[in-house]
Homo-oligomer: A and B are copies of this chain.
Amino acid sequence: MGEASDAVQKMFISYNNIHKSCQKIAIQIMAKGERPDVIIAITGGGMIPARIIRSFLKSRGQKNIPIQAIGLSLYEDLGLDDHVDTIGKEVIRTQWLDFGSLEQHFDSLIGKRVLIVDEVDDTRTTLHYAVTELEKEVKEQQIKLNRTNEETVFSIFVLHNKDKPKKAALPAEMMNNDRYLAAETVPDVWLCYPWEALDIEEHTELAIKQGNN
């Protein structure tokens, strides 16, 4: 990729920083009285923030919020550079909701508050796909079960939103009602998440130096 990518600034983020980001957003959600009924983690990136935020969305005596995982990946062109993922156009679905198991213990997503979680909103392609497909499936189920009068509310939580032109949009209704929750909005830098660190002590020190602890 040459000089352009060499010059990309690296932002180091510690685990404790991520923990605090999840806590911050959870406090906002609870203050609005919008505790989700189910969390949908986009694997792999969404798994860590999803598990952390769940802790803070639990009130004393309440049950854990169920987590469902969906596997979404963008086709990557790995030929150009080992470090820079070239964003593809198509989303690959490697796992979807298990409505069978979900309904048995949980009913369905119809009429529920659903929090979709991922690590980063880069081009917005994956999040767009997730919301669009989930909304479509819920509507189909509503018609099938004759429950079209119930409102399902989707929110999104990401650790980082990159301030850059997006390739896809999210529903205006979601954006206008503060249901798109990014813990931090950052420039289009290279985000170094702790779970990729070969030396976590050094990584944490760099994050602290950058104020990301």
Binding site for B on A (CB under 8 A): 14-16, 19-20, 23, 41, 43-45, 47-48, 50-52, 54-55, 60-61, 63-64, 66-69, 71, 73, 78, 82, 92-98, 100-102, 104-106, 194-197, 200-201, 204
- In the complex, the answer to whether B15 meets A71 with C-beta atoms within 8 Å is no
> Contact partner of A71 among B48, B67, B71, CB < 8 A?
B67
- Report how many copies the assembly holds: 2
CA of A44 to CA of B14, assembled, Å? 21
- In the complex, the answer to whether A195 meets B52 with C-beta atoms within 8 Å is yes
Residues of B near A64 (CB, < 8 A) are 44, 73
Instruction: Give the interface centre of A44, A71, A100 by most chain B CB atoms within 10 Å.
Output: A44
Residues of B near A101 (CB, < 8 A) are 71, 93-96
Q: Given A15-B194, A69-B41, A200–B20 Cβ distance below 8 Å?
A: yes
CA of A60 to CA of B59, assembled, Å? 43
- From A54, which residue of chain B is reached at the shortest CB distance? B44
Residues of B near A61 (CB, < 8 A) are 78, 82
Nearest-neighbour CB distance to chain B for A82, whole angstroms, equals 6
> Contact partner of A16 among B43, B95, B201, CB < 8 A?
B201
What are 25 contact pairs spanning A and B, CB under 8 A?
A: A14-B15, A15-B15, A15-B16, A16-B204, A19-B197, A23-B200, A41-B47, A41-B69, A43-B51, A44-B64, A47-B47, A48-B48, A48-B51, A60-B82, A66-B71, A67-B71, A68-B69, A71-B101, A92-B105, A94-B98, A94-B101, A94-B105, A95-B101, A95-B102, A96-B100
Nearest-neighbour CB distance to chain B for A74, whole angstroms, equals 12
Residues of B near A43 (CB, < 8 A) are 41, 51, 67-69
- In the complex, the answer to whether B19 meets A195 with C-beta atoms within 8 Å is yes
Nearest-neighbour CB distance to chain B for A116, whole angstroms, equals 15
Nearest-neighbour CB distance to chain B for A198, whole angstroms, equals 8
Residues of B near A45 (CB, < 8 A) are 51
